[in-house]
Chain A
């Protein structure tokens, strides 16, 4: 309960304990780091060139 009109987030999905562990797992996150950077580079190469 709140005195303010706060949004009801009670139906938002909570991450499981496994998901929370994965978010801090060094080996998995190293992989995600590579994947995310590859995604950025792909986006830059496809959409950031000033074209005529």
Chain B
């Protein structure tokens, strides 16, 4: 029986169980919906999320160029959870007590309310099963001057994206009046992830500039921590193209050349001043780049939480990696990059030593980078972090939900498995939003984490493909509507795959 599970139970399974999900992003929200779908009303499902709203983050890039409004990508969670009988706590989790405390051996989470009528109120809630799906902490502070409180904009949240669109259109108006501008899009630190989002944003900006008739007045620069174009934090991809193995680097470089977007590679942004980015490249050289508009993504960390044993002693380091991400069933043995294996990646997302504690999506600690980490001659780390978003994130959420459903019925049930080294992902990177003139770089990769023991190129060439065209834009728009339909738990939501 899972440690801490002592709620009314029998050999046949638990008669009542309390399942708590921390976070209402893609993985947490997916898990909560499937838990509620599969569990009887005698069991409770509680979602703890500091935000009152759900945000389809992949479409934030369209908000960031003014093609969509905030209302198109955000909706209130409360009505959905009310309809589905899911308890919703608008709060942030600050501490986990996986062994329980002195008053109750069941696991518990300390949460602090973020709701307007009770902000700051702290409560301890009990759980029989806990899913940590808290997503990323946006660590703008790791680069001085980075972010909406500094000198750059972001598209990480819908509000950030609205601000980005306003500033972009100020730039476009100035260009229409005859000014020339330098626009930078990319990564605000050497350890950032989500390069695909920056890639999408810069080509959407390019598309907007062309539609506004001012592309010739803009210098567009992609500033990235990737050592080569097309890396995307997954070490790039190899495609079978007309019988030849083609790299995503060549394919991506073609698009940059065609659209006249400049690229600065292997860069760590060290500071942003008013209108100036300071960065270091892999050769150790330091540079300054003046800009009029800059959208630079922040590095991610785990949402900070502490962990305590029942006697109150601090066990945070046992549950969490120094990055703040939760340790799960991955192989975290320190080893050189060249020695890592696909099998190091987690399969069940279960925290070591706890059968009732899981971490999914960005919240779990990856065992190592997928893209090769590098250091500059000054010792600065430039290492794109592995993405754990989108399709894999939803698949992990559902898998863990189904494990919990199994264990509520039979506490000895094995955990279900969904390794990123076995699952694929589609990445549809918009390159312009228009039903007739838009385009996207549409990629599929199988698996996400390359497995060189199974495939010479790391991935299955039959399922790892890339193509550019209008159809990709239609796919991304279709996914936008499908996933919002699913997240709103509308008719047939469960048939839309993760």
B229 at the binding interface (Cβ < 8 Å)? yes
Given contacts A4-B264, A7-B263, contact A43 B463 (CB under 8 A): yes
A44 touches B471 (CB 8 A): no
B253 at the binding interface (Cβ < 8 Å)? yes
Q: Which A1-37 residues have a C-beta within 8 angstroms of B?
A: 2, 4-7, 9-10, 12-15, 22-26, 28-30, 32-33, 36-37
Interface of B is mostly: mixed
Complexed CA–CA distance, A32 and B472 (Å): 8
A50 touches B446 (CB 8 A): no
Q: Which B339-374 residues have a C-beta within 8 angstroms of A?
A: none
A50 touches B403 (CB 8 A): yes
Given contacts A12-B254, A23-B439, A39-B463, contact A47 B289 (CB under 8 A): no
B416 touches A51 (CB 8 A): yes
A33 touches B422 (CB 8 A): no
B287 at the binding interface (Cβ < 8 Å)? yes
Closest to A52 in B: B414
B418 at the binding interface (Cβ < 8 Å)? yes
B463 touches A15 (CB 8 A): no
Complexed CA–CA distance, A30 and B474 (Å): 9
Closest to B252 in A: A12
Kindly list chain A residues whose C-beta atoms are within 8 Å of the C-beta of B254: 12-15
Given contacts A5-B281, A29-B471, contact A39 B465 (CB under 8 A): yes
B437 touches A39 (CB 8 A): no
Closest to B479 in A: A40
B257 touches A47 (CB 8 A): no
Complexed CA–CA distance, A33 and B73 (Å): 23
B99 to chain A minimum Cβ distance, whole angstroms, is 27
Contact with A along B247-259 (1 / 0, CB 8 A): 0001001101110
B186 at the binding interface (Cβ < 8 Å)? no
A36 touches B264 (CB 8 A): no
Complexed CA–CA distance, A5 and B391 (Å): 35
Kindly list chain B residues whose C-beta atoms are within 8 Å of the C-beta of A39: 426, 444, 463, 465
Kindly list chain B residues whose C-beta atoms are within 8 Å of the C-beta of A48: 391, 395, 418, 423-424, 497-498
Kindly list chain B residues whose C-beta atoms are within 8 Å of the C-beta of A51: 416-418
B399 at the binding interface (Cβ < 8 Å)? yes
A10 to chain B minimum Cβ distance, whole angstroms, is 7
Interface of A is mostly: helix
Kindly list chain B residues whose C-beta atoms are within 8 Å of the C-beta of A32: 467, 469, 471
B422 touches A47 (CB 8 A): yes
Complexed CA–CA distance, A6 and B265 (Å): 7
Given contacts A33-B474, A37-B475, A48-B391, contact A6 B467 (CB under 8 A): no
B471 touches A30 (CB 8 A): yes
Complexed CA–CA distance, A42 and B444 (Å): 11
A7 touches B424 (CB 8 A): no
Residue in contact with B398 in the complex, picked from A6, A33, A43, A50, CB distance below 8 Å:
A50
Kindly list chain B residues whose C-beta atoms are within 8 Å of the C-beta of A47: 422-424, 446-447
B254 to chain A minimum Cβ distance, whole angstroms, is 5
Contact with A along B436-475 (1 / 0, CB 8 A): 1101001010110000000000000001010111111011
B258 touches A14 (CB 8 A): yes
Complexed CA–CA distance, A26 and B470 (Å): 8
A23 touches B470 (CB 8 A): yes
Given contacts A48-B391, A50-B395, contact A4 B221 (CB under 8 A): yes
B16 at the binding interface (Cβ < 8 Å)? no
A5 touches B287 (CB 8 A): yes
Closest to A41 in B: B497
Kindly list chain B residues whose C-beta atoms are within 8 Å of the C-beta of A50: 395, 398-400, 402-403, 416-418
Kindly list chain A residues whose C-beta atoms are within 8 Å of the C-beta of B418: 48-51
Complexed CA–CA distance, A51 and B417 (Å): 5
B285 at the binding interface (Cβ < 8 Å)? yes
Hey, which bits of chain B sit against chain A, CB under 8 A? 221, 229, 250, 253-254, 256-258, 262-265, 281, 285, 287, 289, 391, 395, 398-400, 402-403, 414, 416-418, 422-426, 436-437, 439, 442, 444, 446-447, 463, 465, 467-472, 474-475, 478, 497-498
